[in-house]
Amino acid sequence: MLARVLLGSWLAACVGILLAQTAPAFDVASVKASEKIVGPDYNNQIRLLPDGFGGRNVTLRRLVAWAWHVQSSQVIGTAWMKQTEYDIDAKAAGATPTGQMERMLQTLLRERFGLRQHDETRDARVYELAVVDGGARIHPVEDGAAPARGTGIHFHGDMHDLADLVGTQLTIPAPVDPAKPVIASEEPVITLDKTGLQGTYDFFVKIVPEAGSDGFAFWQRGLRDLGLTIRRSSDQVHMIVIDWANKVPLAN
């Protein structure tokens, strides 16, 4: 029996070494617990550079969501994975496409947190971000283009990012007192990108809250000006289930 356990451990170690040798990885990386905890209203600040990835007060669940290109609500794990905050800085050898950067972050999370996960498909209540019948009135921006000017909520990213933003914003209730900030009231509903639009976009969404209207209604109006819409639906959704992760990452 002991021989079998030892053999199993040896095989697992060999597989881990082979994966580490073949998986894309950052040249240098630092992962550590955040010295100051800022809480769910301000955390999960991610910064993407041409040759690197950074995060401040970012949770493991948010890191997994970014690495596997899903929304945080599609990541299932224990409570600490969406509460404990980390600072991360990682550098690649040179300019790296986002898709490659995601795979490099997967490698880093496995190395530093001992992350083990699997995929599942589950039925879920969702929102769908889609294009209206008349077509979208937005266009991708070129690299290096000047930022858009306007009023409202500034957005820069792809349609997956916009779906993520909308899902989060829809959990924020309308303000009762304009002098007091409001915060998200519940877990964001998964918002799927059904637009079929590719590329990076830069624009403003004009959101005008009105008395008696909920967030869904005024986001509908704001998106309609862009040739987009959101709708309630249900769907089978890809989920990332975290089977194991260490709360304290390995030393840098």
pLDDT digits (tens, 9 = 90+) for 158-196: 999 999 999 888 887 665 655 555 555 567 889 999 999
Helix or strand run (H / E) with residue 165: helix 159-169
One domain, residues 36 and 105: yes
pLDDT at 236 over 60: yes
Q: Check whether residue 114 and residue 135 sit in a common domain.
A: no
- Within 10 A of 250 (CB to CB), how many other CB atoms are there? 10
pTM: 0.78
CA pair distance 1, 100, nearest whole angstrom:
42
User: What percent of the chain clears pLDDT 70, i.e. is strictly above it?
Assistant: 84
What is residue 118's three-state secondary structure?
strand
Same domain, 83 and 174: no
53 lies in a domain? Answer: yes
d(CA 60, CA 85): 7
| Amino acid letter, 16 | G
Least confident of 117-131, 155-169, 175-189, 207-221: 175-189
At 178 the three-state DSSP class reads: coil
Which pLDDT does position 170 carry in this prediction? 85
Q: Same domain, yes or no, for 140 and 65?
A: no
Identify whether 63 is part of a domain. yes
Cα–Cα distance measured from residue 22 to residue 45, given in angstroms and rounded to the nearest whole number: 29
Q: What are phi and psi of 74, to 5 degrees?
A: -95, 5
Q: Does any domain span residue 4?
A: no
Q: Decide if 8 is inside a domain.
A: no
User: Is residue 172 in some structural domain?
Assistant: yes
pLDDT band at 131 (very low <50, low <70, confident <90, very high): very high
- 148 and 207 in a common domain: yes
Residue 72 pLDDT > 70: yes
Pick the residue with more confidence: 21 or 90? 90
Q: What six digits make up the tokens of 91?
A: 């550098």
pLDDT, residue 148, reads: 86
Residue 195's CB is within 10 A of a number of other CB atoms, namely 20
Torsion of CA 9, 10, 12, 15, to 10 degrees: 170
Count of domains observed in the chain: 2
User: Are 88 and 148 contained in the same domain?
Assistant: no
Secondary structure element (H or E) that encloses residue 62, with its range: helix 60-67
Q: For residue 64, how many C-alpha atoms fall within 13 Å in the half-sphere facing its CB?
A: 27
Beta-bridge mates of residue 127: 191, 232
Residues 33 and 133 in one domain: no
Same-domain pairing of 107 and 196: no
Same domain, 95 and 139: no
Decide if pLDDT at 1 tops 80. no
Which residue's structure tokens are 């900030």? 181
- Shared domain for 233 and 140, answered yes or no, is yes
Q: 48 is in which domain, residue-wise?
A: 22-121+240-244
Both 105 and 157 in one domain: the answer is: no
Residue 41 inside a domain? The answer is yes
Same domain, residue pair 141 and 227: yes
Dihedral of the CA atoms 29, 246, 101, 128 (nearest 10)? -150
Classify residue 30: in a domain, yes or no: yes
2 in a structural domain: no
